[in-house]
Amino acid sequence: MNKELQQVEFLRQHAKQASQKAYAPYSNFPVGAAILMKSGEVISGCNVENVSYGLSNCAERTAVFSAIAQGYNAQDIAAVVVYTPGDKAYAPCGACRQVLAEFLANDTLITSTSERQMRQWTIEELLPDAFEFDVEAFRKPS
Amino acid sequence: MNKELQQVEFLRQHAKQASQKAYAPYSNFPVGAAILMKSGEVISGCNVENVSYGLSNCAERTAVFSAIAQGYNAQDIAAVVVYTPGDKAYAPCGACRQVLAEFLANDTLITSTSERQMRQWTIEELLPDAFEFDVEAFRKPS
Amino acid sequence: MNKELQQVEFLRQHAKQASQKAYAPYSNFPVGAAILMKSGEVISGCNVENVSYGLSNCAERTAVFSAIAQGYNAQDIAAVVVYTPGDKAYAPCGACRQVLAEFLANDTLITSTSERQMRQWTIEELLPDAFEFDVEAFRKPS
Amino acid sequence: MNKELQQVEFLRQHAKQASQKAYAPYSNFPVGAAILMKSGEVISGCNVENVSYGLSNCAERTAVFSAIAQGYNAQDIAAVVVYTPGDKAYAPCGACRQVLAEFLANDTLITSTSERQMRQWTIEELLPDAFEFDVEAFRKPS
**How far apart (Å, rounded) are the C-alpha atoms in residues D110 and C19?**
35
Q: To the nearest whole number, what is the mean pLDDT of chain B? A: 95
Sign, CA dihedral C15-C21-C23-C29, equals positive
Give contacts of B133 with chain C, Cβ < 8 Å.
Answer: 51-52
Q: Chain C partners of A142 at a C-beta cutoff of 8 Å?
A: 136, 139
- By the CB < 8 Å criterion, does C27 face chain A? yes
Which ranges of chain C does DSSP label H, i.e. alpha helix?
3-19, 59-69, 94-103, 123-126
Closest Cα in chain C, distance from residue D89 (Å)? 10
- Is the Cβ pair D131, A51 closer than 8 Å? yes
ipTM, interface predicted TM-score of the complex:
0.95
Residue whose C-alpha is closest to residue C113's, from C140, C92, C139: C92
Domain of residue D28, CATH code: 3.40.140.10
A124 confidence band (pLDDT: 50, 70, 90): very high
Q: How confident is the model at residue A134, as a pLDDT?
A: 78
Mutate to test the interface with C, among D131, D136, D140 (most CBs of C within 10 A): D131
Residues A107-123: pLDDT tens digits?
A: 999 999 999 999 999 99
| Surface-to-core class of residue B29, CB atoms within 10 Å of its CB (0-12 exposed, 13-18 middle, 19+ buried) | buried
Q: Which of residues 46-105 of B touch C (CB under 8 A)?
A: 46, 48, 50-52, 55, 57, 59, 61-66, 68-71, 95, 98-99, 102
Looking at CA atoms only, how far is residue B83 from chain A in angstroms?
A: 13
Q: Read off the pLDDT band of B142 (50, 70, 90).
A: low
Domain that holds residue D20: 3-138
Residue C13, judged by CB atoms within 10 A of its CB (0-12, 13-18, 19+), counts as: middle
The pLDDT tens digits for C19-57 are: 999 999 999 999 999 999 999 999 999 999 999 999 999
Q: Which amino acid is at A135?
A: V
Radius of gyration of chain B (CA): 16
Chain D residues within 8 A of A133 when measuring between CB atoms:
51-52
Q: Which residues of A62-75 are buried (b: 16+ CB within 10 A; e: fewer)?
A: bbbbbbbbbebeee
In the set B60, B115, B124, B136, the catalytic residue is: B60
Q: According to the model, what pLDDT value does residue B131 have?
A: 85
CA-to-CA distance for B72 and B31, rounded, in angstroms?
23
Q: Which one from D4, D9, D41, D60 is the annotated catalytic residue? A: D60
pLDDT (tens digit per residue) in A19-56: 999 999 999 999 999 999 999 999 999 999 999 999 99
Give the residue ranges of chain C where pLDDT is below 70.
1, 140-142
pLDDT for the residue numbered B10: 98
In the predicted model, what is the mean pLDDT of residues D21-25?
97
Count CA within 13 A, CB hemisphere, residue A21.
Answer: 25
pLDDT at position A132 = 80
What average pLDDT does range D36-46 have in this prediction?
Answer: 98
- DSSP code for C90: P
Residue of C nearest to A136 (CA): C142
Question: CB distance A138–B27 less than 8 Å?
Answer: yes
Q: What residues of chain D lie within 8 A of the CB of A45, using their CB?
A: 65-66, 69
Looking at residue B141, its pLDDT comes to: 61
Average pLDDT over residues B94-113: 97
pLDDT at B128 over 80: yes
Q: Which tops the pLDDT comparison, B137 or B6?
A: B6
DSSP per residue, chain A: --HHHHHHHHHHHHHHHHHTT-B-TTT----EEEEEETTS-EEEEE-B--SSGGG-B-HHHHHHHHHHHTT--GGGEEEEEEE-SSSS-PPPPHHHHHHHHHH--TT-EEEEE-SS-EEEE-HHHHSTT-----GGGGPPP-
Give the percent of chain A with pLDDT over 90: 89
Total domain count for chain C?
A: 1
Measure CB to CB from residue C26 to each of A51, A52, A53 and give the nearest one: A53
